[in-house]
Structure 1
Amino acid sequence: MPWMRLADRALIHATGADAESLLQGLVTTDLGQLVVGELRAGALLTPQGKVLFDFLISRSDGGFCIDIATSQADAFLKRLTMYKLRAAVNLTLQPDAAAAIGLEREDGALSDVRFEKAGMPLLRRYDASTIEADGAEIYLSARLAAGIAECGPDYPPQDVFPHDILLDLNGGLSFKKGCYVGQEVVSRMQHRGTARRRVVLVAGEDALPESGATVTAGGKPIGTLGSVAGAQGLAIVRIDKVGDALAHGQPLAAGSVPVLLGLPAWTGLSFPEEPAEEAHQL
């Protein structure tokens, strides 16, 4: 696969003596485990533990490079600036990330850990200003196959917990590094095992409806459809409700389209076989 351009991505560069300590105390990613040449998922949460911004983060000369949707970049930069106070950190916005995806390992290419864990090596680089081929469809297909959800096409800000979008399994959420915004809530969810919503792969008997359609089990809502390409899609659903529906032979649908739902194999998750006790999302 040749290198292909990804539009609508911006970069925020965080440099300076305090860059790592500032970010380590804010975002979900454990930067102490982030190595050069690697790209990891991350999020900035609300104090209630909901995902406010999602992004990809890598090490760069003198600091970090944060790859984020263009639509979120300005607001995220303002939020970081608010937290920065007098810390020795320089924050600069590059509105066009010049991002590209590909499979060829070469200087400057970063390994996306999300796809590595899914057994689908996909690299990213940020010097693609001369690349004309559009990678949007290829990237969407890869996300649908791997079960990788992103803010915007799959969920709105402040709607999901990190567990809901598999950050606890793809290297984007730490339970060991110490405090960060929203950490107490997600740690409680982890230790109590109260995560009930998860990203699932959706396969329709026919073309799926548009993103935002309700996913139902036995006619009752259990989640929402996210990214779609033809009869394939992603959804965030209550997996305990799916398990209950499967156990009782109840139909699953997205809108009016009958569907099959599956958890990404790389996660090791499965639909509960016994009806779960009603667990509140913290």
Structure 2
Amino acid sequence: MNPRWCNFLPDIPHHSEATQAAQFDALKHGSFATISTDSGIITCSGTDAIAFIQSQLTANITQSLTHTATLAGYCSPKGRLLATFLVWKDENCISLICSADVRVSIQKRLSMFLLRAKAKLADGTNDRALLRVGGHSVELVLKQYFSTLPITPLSITHSQTAGTLVCLPNASTAARARAHYLWSIPVEVVKHVWENLLNVPNLEIIAPELVHWLDVQSGVPKIVAVTQEQFVPQMINLELIGGVSFRKGCYPGQEIVARSQYRGTIKRRLFLAHLDDGQPKPGQELFESSDKQQPCGHVLNVSHSPEGGWDCLVEVKLMARAADDVHLGQVDGTRLKFLALPYAL
């Protein structure tokens, strides 16, 4: 969290049994706000910025990037994901949102390939804050800063003074049909914005780790440091949610990603699951009872569950998923209860 703006924001409540139910209720039905403490921002500016980013990521970012954000991956030459991004174009630069624990290494790696391109990479957290907000009451505040609000997932709205508002992907359940947003705010106005949010009636300040539940339920994976270079994009459904283009030009790992799509058989996929106990961790191995030697998958992202226990996104062999006998950490570990994703495999 950037010290230039975090000092004047009030303390975010820590997770506790006394407040968890109220916070989850706000996430599902009410109005909420929190700071996105685990996200990093890389910006790319210059006349060659779009062409450079286009040459590095799995998605086609040249199509309607000013009005729509896109999901994308960044691969090693072997086609394994080093990072996943939410990408959009601001007035003066391209913004790439990734996990905070990979931001420095990914920015450094991208910089190695700039060569003669007229583009510059920078740490966007120096001049912007990221908030997560949602709910009807919050929308009344948003309308003070934005002439229109984005409604469909990944649509965006810009403001000359208040930054960029991105409508994030939702799960398809009735309780989650309403929009929630990522708000990228210039540090000069974030204090004013936060004070306005605190004056919203019935608004709940959410612990940052609880808002991860929205991300897990949406089925959108996020690569973190411990899961780098473990998956080709199709293993975690990235092409199913618009994060891979098979018609664009070359990018690192493109040949392997394309071969997996057209010549290979995809034997692993991303699934949504619940565990009653045994807190899962990103990168943790999963096992099927019939195979005690080799893991059948890995945990990607984890969140607290409103029902207790944990919800998580997991990468699992299709055969193991069909057997419906997958366990956390070891063959006799906590058994996963698979849930429906908001999109079809």
| 1:215-268 per-position Cα deviation (integer Å, ceiling 9, x unaligned) | 22224231123424223222111123322x24xxxx3322421222245141x1
For 2:338, the equivalent position in structure 1 comes to 261
What residue number does 1:241 align with? Answer: 320
What secondary structure sits across from 2:116 in the alignment?
coil
Look up the match of 2:217: 145
Task: Give the structure 1 partner of residue 165 of structure 2.
Answer: 109
> Does structure 1 conserve the Cα–Cα contact (< 8 Å) formed by 2:46 and 2:120?
yes
**Alpha carbon RMSD of aligned pairs, Å?**
2.5
Q: CA deviation at 1:187?
A: 0.8
CA contact (8 A) 1:208 1:228 kept: no
Q: Report deviation, 1:72.
A: 1.7
The structure whose Rg is larger is: 2
Cα contact 2:172–2:342 (8 A) shared by 1: no
Which has the higher mean CA deviation after the structures are superposed, 255-264 or 139-148?
255-264
Distance 2:109 2:60 in 1: 19
Is the 2:60–2:245 contact (alpha carbons within 8 Å) kept by the matching residues of 1? yes
* Alpha-carbon distance change, 238 to 121 in structure 1, aligned in 2, over 3 angstroms: farther
Q: Which residue of 2 aligns with 1:26?
A: 56
Among 67, 71, 76, which residue is 1:41 paired with? 71
Question: Deviations for 1:196-229, whole angstroms, at most 9, x for unmatched residues?
Answer: 221111123x313331443222242311234242
Q: Provide TM-score, normalisation by structure 2.
A: 0.68
How big is each residue's C-alpha offset from its partner over 1:131-179, in whole Å with a ceiling of 9 and x where there is no partner? 38445234211122122221228x5111111112221011111111121
The residue type equivalent to 1:52 in the other structure is L
**How much does 1:4 deviate?**
2.1
Q: How does 1:1-282 map to 2 (within 5 A)?
A: 1-95=31-125, 97-103=128-134, 104=139, 106=143, 107=146, 108-112=164-168, 114-115=169-170, 121-127=179-185, 129-130=190-191, 131=194, 133-152=205-224, 156-204=227-275, 206-211=276-281, 212-220=283-291, 221-226=295-300, 227-229=302-304, 230-243=309-322, 245-246=323-324, 251-255=325-329, 256-262=333-339, 264-266=341-343, 268-269=344-345
- Which moves more between the two structures, 168-177 or 126-135? 126-135
How has the CA–CA distance of structure 1 residues 142 and 185 changed in structure 2, closer, same or farther, with 3 Å as cutoff?
same
Residue 92 to residue 194, structure 1, CA distance change in 2 (3 Å): same
Going from structure 1 to structure 2, the CA distance change for 1:209 and 1:3 (only over 3 Å counts) comes to: closer
Q: Is the 8 A contact 2:39 2:99 kept in 1?
A: yes
Distance 2:120 2:271 in 1: 39
Which residue number in structure 1 is paired with residue 160 of structure 2?
none
Aligned residues: 260
CA distance change for structure 1 residues 117 and 75 in 2, over 3 Å: closer, same or farther? farther
**Segment of structure 1 superposing worse, 66-75 or 183-192:** 66-75
Q: How many angstroms does 1:185 deviate by?
A: 0.7
Compared CA separation, residues 253 and 77, structure 1 to 2 (3 A): closer
Secondary structure at 2:230 match in 1: coil
Letter of the structure 2 residue corresponding to residue 149 of structure 1: P
Cα distance between partner residues in 1 of 2:321 and 2:90: 42
- The structure whose residues are more often helix, as a share, is 2
C-alpha separation in 2, matches of 1:215 and 1:116: 24
- What does residue 19 of structure 2 align with? none
